[in-house]
Amino acid sequence: MRGPWLIALATVFVGAARAADPADTIRHPRAHFRVADPASLDPPAAETVYRRLLRTMLRGYALSGEPGASYAGWRRYNRHPYRSATHGERYVNNYANRVARAYGRFENAGKLPPGSLLAKDSFTVTAAGGVYPGPLFLMEKLAPGTSPETDDWRYVMVMPDGSLFGDTTGDNSGAVAFCAVCHGTTPETDDLFFLPPALRVRYPRTGARE
Ligand code: HEC
């Protein structure tokens, strides 16, 4: 008779522990909504969807504790979310922190200094019009010589619930090694790719609407 009771009790405890985990409250983001015609998300529609989703995305990413997850106040270098073939056909945005402000000179940026953080958030729109937060892609420039095999860039992928998919300098480094392989093909621009010229925002934005 004791066996089933112990199992029941253990289940209750595990359940309680789970409920107490803040990650659980956003593991299934509550911001699910649908867009009418996902195949033709024009720039204003993409921006509207993004604005509705951003708070949920930020809340999820923040649970990772990654400094790059607090990109909300940084400059965004794209006019509106665009689809990135190299990041899973998700809609993405590119942000850079103050240390990395030379990013805004794009191909003329030179080597970004240590402490530079680049954040690329993402969301998915399914064929049926469902909208979901996607991973956060981060690059952090480390001190010279820290990670020669990745040209001193640290690559991190954070899942929408804040869990870490991988970190080239830490946990699950193998899972994100492909980031450095692809980015490492452009050493002439410090392993950066920037974004399609038509989508670029140049600062200061004189008279431009955000
Ligand atoms: C197959 C090539 C490829 C892979 C793999 C790849 N990226 Fe990128 N990455 C790009 C390209 C191209 C851009 C710029 C255009 C765009 O957004 O699609 C970019 C842009 C970025 C940026 C903005 C900085 C920049 O280069 O302008 C970050 C941050 C980033 N990627 C992080 C990652 C992380 C983290 C991973 C791995 C989880 C990853 N990338 C995997 C090709 C790649």
Identify the pLDDT of residue 86: 87
pLDDT for the residue numbered 39: 75
Q: Residue ranges of the chain with pLDDT lower than 70?
A: 1-32, 206-210
- Can you give the pLDDT at residue 204? 86
Give 6 Cα–ligand 1 centroid separation in angstroms.
49
Task: Compute the distance between CA of residue 10 and CA of residue 179 in angstroms, rounded to an integer.
Answer: 41
Q: Residue 79: what pLDDT? A: 97
Q: What is the pLDDT of residues 77-100, one digit of tens each?
A: 999 999 988 888 899 999 999 999
pLDDT at site 23: 41
Q: Whose CA is nearest to atom 16 of ligand 1?
A: 84
- Ligand 1 mean position to 70 CA, how many Å? 19
**Which tokens go with 140?**
């952090």
How close is the Cα of 193 to the center of ligand 1, in Å? 7
Q: Is the CB of 94 under 6 A from ligand 1?
A: yes
C-beta of residue 174 within 8 angstroms of C-beta of residue 166: yes
Pick from 59, 71, 84, 68: which is nearest to 153 by CA? Answer: 68
Pair of tokens at residue 74: 């940084």
The C-alpha R_g of the chain, in whole angstroms, comes to 20
Distance in angstroms (rounded) separating the CA atoms of residues 153 and 169: 9
Phi and psi, residue 15, nearest 5°: -60, -45
Phi-psi region of 185 (alpha: psi -120 to 50; beta: other; left: phi over 0): alpha
Q: Which protein residue's CA is at the shortest distance from atom 40 of ligand 1?
A: 179
